[in-house]
Structure 1
Amino acid sequence: MSEIVPDTKDWTWVLERPCGECGFVAAGLAAPGIAGAVAASVPRWQAVLDRADVRRRPRPDVWSPLEYACHVRDVYRLFAARARLMLDRDGPTFENWDQDATALEERYGEQEPAVVSTELAAAGTEAARVFAAVPADAWQRVGLRSNGSHFTVETLGQYFVHDVVHHLHDVDG
């Protein structure tokens, strides 16, 4: 398999305008709807993992649906942890996460779809639970990415949901 070219784009612009690729409008997702959007994505991802061609890359330089699902499972985990951190601490800075290195180290393309489906469901359910439990007065709490990008709990959730929905678009899910 060819190596995937790392995505080095700063996707925070999706908080300001609709995504031209997937059509998602992050600003249109109100804070109370984040948990429901996350929960609704889980069965769609599980359906992707049930495909016969789940391991097949559409091109050598594009992840397979399985690899995308592994990534999304890890995104659910990461954003649940980041939201909890923002709710527990004042102004935390998030550690870097190299998604491409993780894909290689964790051998996403070699994982078992049924196991990934179970793990993805658990991680997605937990992420939805974390966002559902955000108190009304905590949505504006702040966190920072290591590059200085500023998030509130609400914008972190919007950004997170875009990632999950965008990748469903990537795999025709």
Structure 2
Amino acid sequence: MNFKPLLDYIAQYVALSEEERDFLVSKLRYRRYLKGQFILQQGDVSKTECFIVKGCTKMFFVDDEGQEHIVMFSIEDWWTSDLGSFSAQIPSDFNVQCLEDTETIQFHIDVIEEIFERIPKMERFFRKIIEKAYVSSQKRIVRNFSMAAKARYLYFRETYPKMERRIPQYMIASYLGITKEFLSKIKSQLAYDD
């Protein structure tokens, strides 16, 4: 079990002593999932916040017509969970499914308060990463309202070059809020323009 990626990530925000790192690691769970497995299913209560060590996940919801809407992808050094479900302990609006074999480090709801009490700076750490995620989410909403589909795709491709090679095109189209056929047209046009 390799907790170093998470400890390195935390060190970008707060400095932990060796004793604090040891205590933290003693409270975490390392969990592997196979491609296609769910970390969380719509309607279940999220019991964990997951840091991705290896692999790729998608967060999505299924509407009343059975249509899948992808709201987020997560790869190495990213987080995945339904934060609203986790913090309020209410049924989740989202599914989190593995697109590849995935390894996670999990903060379980049963130990999070104990971690915050013993290592107060971890509360600051979570506040900082939640602020960052919130700002990113707001910017994505603005892009979806203000940018044409082609510009949204170009932004995605330039901002997340590692993801585009790992995620099927129809899922990227869902994330961008367009059909896979329209994404295909955009890509053909871009290839023609080059």
Give me the TM-score of the superposition, normalised by structure 1.
Answer: 0.32
Tell me which protein shows more helix as a share of its residues: 1
Give me the TM-score of the superposition, normalised by structure 2.
Answer: 0.29
Which gives a bigger RCO, structure 1 or 2 (Cα 8 Å, sep 6+)?
Answer: 1
Rg bigger for which structure? 2
